[in-house]
Structure 1
Amino acid sequence: MANIKIGGVTVNQTPLDWKGNFNNIIDAISEARLLRVDILCFPELAITGYGSEDLFLSYWYPQKALKQIQKLLPYSQDMTICVGTPVRVQELVYNCIAVLENGKLKGLVAKQCMAIDGVHYEFRWFTPWSAGEIISFDFFGENVPMGDIIFNNGEYKYGFEICEDAWRGAARPGYRLKDRNVDFIFNPSASHYAMGKSRLRETLIKESSKELNAIYFYVNLLGNESGRMIFDGEIMVAKDGRLLEKNQLLSFKAYQILTFSTEQEITASIGNPQKYKKEEEFSQAVSLALFDYLRKSRSKGFVLSLSGGADSSSIAIMVAEMVRRGILELGSDLFLQKLHLDIALVPGEPEKQIVHQLLTTAYQGTKNSSKDTLESAKKLAESIGAVFYEWEIDEEVNSYTAKIEKAIGRSLTWQKDDITLQNIQARSRSPIIWMLANINNALLLTTSNRSEGDVGYATMDGDTSGSISPIAAVDKTFIIKWLKWAETSLGYQGLQYVNALQPTAELRPQDNKQTDEDDLMPYPILLKIEQNAIRDKRSPMDIYLILKEEIDIAPSLLKKYITKFFKLWSRNQWKRERLAPSFHLDEFNVDPKTWYRFPILSGGFIEELEELASLDE
């Protein structure tokens, strides 16, 4: 058969950025033309962006998307272009791939299986297409086929599985495509990023190419498109069960192209060129997410209340990593241009100069703060080039305390008012750090992690106050491990100070020797309970029976920890509802807007915990 060159393009799109999205597409087409690509496939919903939410439900939005398709027609001369777009047919909206060729729309392929788990709620917007159904669609006065269709390009036949379509086992469209003897199957996707997920996709693509007897081409969206989900921009080609091509993931570029020619001699699989540790993936994903969030919000930088502890230190390092990786891939000039910043760099240490412009930090101490955490915060800020301020908030705390004591007619004491006296310190930090963010036209970064979100170990309108929460989807155990890895593997020597400290809120008097794990439970045990309860959705009794075999701990203490987790979890759902937007990074998270929905008001597992308490040990 004649040689044909196929290409996949990942693009970093943004809902409602019609001009930017269109330019990314035509720039990629221009480059693909230079590469002599015959069929070029873009990701799912590349015209609008996947995260358009309820805009999909309007009449005008899908219609405007089709006008963008119409504008693309002239760019399809001597090339086939496949691009994702929403399509409305009367009252229903479909998730489609438009196939353009020689200035014409050849047809629209509609997605048959909706993603409805975890971060995906596609049934809210889209209707699944019925297998085998084909209709005639009016495309600005021209009738084109729409539905379950395949296409020809010379001697070759090709078809599509759109993202979730490929993950449905025996119900997947690929088996019907195999029966129709297609040579290529394209999988244009908007598959959210999670640490370790690439390996699962790679297995699917390799097995699909063998089982479906076709060259299988996978193309995913790229970047932090609309605030929470991250797309890694993965492109892969497989044939006969072997992975032939794979690109660099989580790029800072507007688009990437990967090509494959049928005349290429296939001798062996390339294996996996990116066997990253979880820590490396986390660094890449958060760096890109912060970069996209900053530039798409057109903010001028970040502000961070830097306590010297693990959480805020990890976020400071991620901003530095954003700068380092962005410069490495784009160069200083393009990196600054994308961030809408005009900085005159002088010779030497451009990363520190840019971090100094982008990141402002402040250590907000009280009489309960230690010299160790001040030193940790200051040394870390200096090591990466961040602006660093320090001040005390005791005056504000004392003012609030005096007012309430006068109102209620008694003094507050640690014995009687422990939580109140802790929380007022955290809340007193919020107004002044917000002032700094407003002055700088910057995003205020919050520092809560997933473990704290589970049990409400965070002060609402205190350490949870901010514009975005970069680490709210990862557990504290991982954060601590990652910081040690970042010190040695990424070379952030300023982390030696925080890595020598034990996590503590520093809200009680210093002679109390407060630590997070004393307040809660050991973080590794909290993680085990969380994984079983939230990820695997098990009952308190099931978790007890599982963990008493897995970890060496007294049964009575294990019961105590499980009971504490479920009580605090159900009591603090309202806090999770109010957390700043966070990135989805792990296999699961506790954000009710993107993964785990739980009632704000509930019975709090009373019967389940009573059953656990009564169990003989």
Structure 2
Amino acid sequence: MSLLNIACATVNQTPLDWTGNFNRIVDAIKDAQRQQVELLCFPELAITGYGSEDLYLSYWYPQKAINQLANLLPFCNDITVAVGVPVRIQEKVYNCMAVIEDQKLKALVAKQFMAIDGVHYEFRWFTPWEHGKVISYSLVDEEVPLGDIIFEKNGVKYGFEICEDAWRGKDRPGYRLKDRKVDVIFNPSASHFAMGKSIQREELMKESSKLFNATYFYVNLLGNESGKMIFDGEILVAREGKLFLKNQLLSFEDYQVKAFSFDKDKEIKPEIDSLHEKNQEFVQAASLGLFDYFRKSKTKGFVLSLSGGADSSTIAILVAEMVKRGIKELGKERFLIKLGIDYTTKTNQPEREIVGKIFTTAYQASENSSFSTFQSAKVLAESIGAAFLNWEISDEVKSYTEKIENVLGRKLTWKEDDLALQNIQARTRSPIIWMLANIKNALLLSTSNRSEGDVGYATMDGDTSGSISPIASVDKHFIRQWLLWAEKNLDYPGLAKVNSLSPTAELRPTENLQTDESDLMPYSLIVEIEKLAIRDRRSPIDIYLILKEEIEIEPDLLKTYVKKFFRLWSRNQWKRERLAPSFHLDEFSVDPKSWCRFPILSGGFEEELKELDTY
């Protein structure tokens, strides 16, 4: 026989939610059984959730995961199920796929390569397995093999490359699986979302299927599992260098099961086309990230200081999209149940009504705020149905300022005290918006973006305040073009006013005509410098020489901007250390807790920047 009904199941798991994780796996198994699936593969570490962090280092946590594995056995009748689980053997923990067949554990396959770049720290928790090695492991008084193992069902041989295993070039296990003549390779993964990453995965799967002469199955975890990383729940099937199955990514469901009828002797038709749109990926991932953060934190809503500018307006639209997409996929009743909200809609506009129920915005005017940004914020909030509040902070700013003036014995002036006078406005907004969030038992959304994080263009304990920072890993240049795209493609006419304004902090007197780019440099240039400096880890001189050839800019001005970027970058690490948790949405970020570590105190690139003057 060479026929086998194979399926992959993605699940939205949460560390320490033992019952919920177990039930979602069981529900997916039952769904697969209804579809008469014979072989079902879950993602890696599906029993615990990938983001369990240092819980893996304990003795009890991997043991409880093994107990959960044992509890799964009775549900696996007349089906083979592969599910990810951590396994501790003495002092070492291994990332394994457990293969259960007809209610018995058949074997455990261990991951051979650890992900250690970017957001991944797997060597902290796991030990890589040696290829070709097999040992005996005891579960419920039965001995089973653990290690580098292949399997067979209905005459179909299959094996595993677990996530990072597939990204290791000529060292990857797939070459040895080919030598062992497997027909099917599974890649159970916990691969974080990043815009454009799905294209890379598709290419790898297609190339792998051709390279190893096998049908290649990929399955990823789903959702904002534990706060920062978002998993897109991607399921792919490739054969002979072609893609034949792909599911809906970034689903609001608890799980998805996608079946594929495998026949190694029969040609597959038809090949599928896959569409990729970066703007669409961003809104899908961020809205799902907000949905999961909302329900898993067990809060009752969101609060946002809506300035009328690009960043806060982006976040407002993401909340509206969370509601729109959640209702579309789940229906309004299931959507509200999953959010943990007991509410019955009363109008024929449930999206607007629910947005108004869970989302409160506030415009906090200082003496330097303009009527244009007030109108921008008000029109946008009302257009999506959000509650809109507004108040002035002038009295509070005046009170703080006068207290300092009294103890210093002098008046504060914009000439001598510019930065302090700007910061006190942003910082004064924080206590009252936090108070509103506390009263409503809501998450306060922070509005900082990656470009601001690069150069510290944010007030600590001011506009950085928040429970979660949804766009902190996305650059401002992208955000500005996304808002233009969203106005037209997502049908948000309320963004028209936002898109007509130049980004400004509005912290200096209006006659100053303050804009972000006059304070810093063009955002389009910041993104080019940060890619080279942070993503590619280039030196200041390298960046100058590269950009001098790639963009049209006067060389001395380019040197000035490169120097400014590195000086601001190096002196503002302390701010990045204190930013609110952020979603990882792009190929890199400046979050020192998950992507880019940099010393708080340093020499500030002074020698490197002096060398620029020799060019």
TM range (shorter): over 0.9
Is contact 1:313-1:380 (8 Å) kept?
Answer: yes
Question: Which residue in the other structure is 1:360 paired with?
Answer: 360
Question: Which residue in the other structure is 1:567 paired with?
Answer: 567
- The TM-score normalised by the length of structure 2 is 0.99
Distance of 2:270 and 2:166 partners within structure 1: 21
Q: Does 1:547 align with 2:562?
A: no
**CA deviation string 1:585-611 (max 9, x = no partner):** 111111011111111111100100010
Question: Which residue in the other structure is 2:273 paired with?
Answer: 272
**CA deviation string 1:109-128 (max 9, x = no partner):** 00000000001010000000
- Structure 1 unmatched runs, 5+: none
The CA deviation at 1:142 is 1.4
Distance of 1:300 and 1:228 partners within structure 2: 20
Q: Does 1:446 align with 2:469?
A: no
Distance of 1:276 and 1:141 partners within structure 2: 49
Is contact 1:300-1:358 (8 Å) kept?
Answer: yes
Aligned 1:450-599 pairs, distance under 5 A: 450-599=450-599
Distance of 1:578 and 1:168 partners within structure 2: 34
Is contact 1:206-1:240 (8 Å) kept?
Answer: yes
Q: Per the alignment, in what secondary structure is the counterpart of residue 299 of structure 2?
A: coil
Question: Which residue in the other structure is 2:143 paired with?
Answer: 143
Distance of 1:47 and 1:260 partners within structure 2: 23
Distance of 1:405 and 1:494 partners within structure 2: 42
What is the one-letter code of the residue matched to 1:231? F
Is contact 1:243-1:269 (8 Å) kept?
Answer: no
Distance of 1:461 and 1:560 partners within structure 2: 29
The CA deviation at 1:262 is 1.9
Is contact 1:233-1:250 (8 Å) kept?
Answer: yes
The CA deviation at 1:346 is 1.5
The CA deviation at 1:613 is 2.1
Q: Per the alignment, in what secondary structure is the counterpart of residue 303 of structure 1?
A: strand
**CA deviation string 1:333-353 (max 9, x = no partner):** 000000000111023110000
Distance of 1:104 and 1:426 partners within structure 2: 61
Q: Per the alignment, in what secondary structure is the counterpart of residue 600 of structure 2?
A: coil
Is contact 1:242-1:268 (8 Å) kept?
Answer: no
**CA deviation string 1:87-144 (max 9, x = no partner):** 0000000000000011111011000000000010100000000000000012132111
The CA deviation at 1:481 is 0.3
Q: Per the alignment, in what secondary structure is the counterpart of residue 193 of structure 2?
A: coil
What is the one-letter code of the residue matched to 1:319? V
Question: Which residue in the other structure is 1:402 paired with?
Answer: 402
Is contact 2:245-2:272 (8 Å) kept?
Answer: no
Runs of 4+ with deviation above 4 angstroms: none
What is the one-letter code of the residue matched to 2:491? G
Alignment size in residue pairs = 614
The CA deviation at 1:269 is 5.1
Distance of 2:579 and 2:605 partners within structure 1: 23
Q: Does 1:320 align with 2:320?
A: yes
Q: Per the alignment, in what secondary structure is the counterpart of residue 362 of structure 1?
A: strand
**CA deviation string 1:183-211 (max 9, x = no partner):** 11111000010001001000111111111
Is contact 2:3-2:154 (8 Å) kept?
Answer: no
Is contact 2:199-2:276 (8 Å) kept?
Answer: no
Distance of 1:136 and 1:154 partners within structure 2: 25
The CA deviation at 1:2 is 3.9
Distance of 1:159 and 1:2 partners within structure 2: 16
Question: Which residue in the other structure is 2:68 paired with?
Answer: 68
Question: Which residue in the other structure is 1:262 paired with?
Answer: 262
Q: Per the alignment, in what secondary structure is the counterpart of residue 51 of structure 1?
A: coil
- Structure 2 unmatched runs, 5+: none
Distance of 1:217 and 1:472 partners within structure 2: 33
Question: Which residue in the other structure is 1:179 paired with?
Answer: 179
The CA deviation at 1:272 is 2.9
The CA deviation at 1:238 is 1.0
**CA deviation string 1:442-480 (max 9, x = no partner):** 000000000000000000000000100000000000000
Q: Per the alignment, in what secondary structure is the counterpart of residue 604 of structure 1?
A: coil
Distance of 2:263 and 2:291 partners within structure 1: 39
Distance of 1:484 and 1:76 partners within structure 2: 50
Q: Per the alignment, in what secondary structure is the counterpart of residue 262 of structure 1?
A: strand
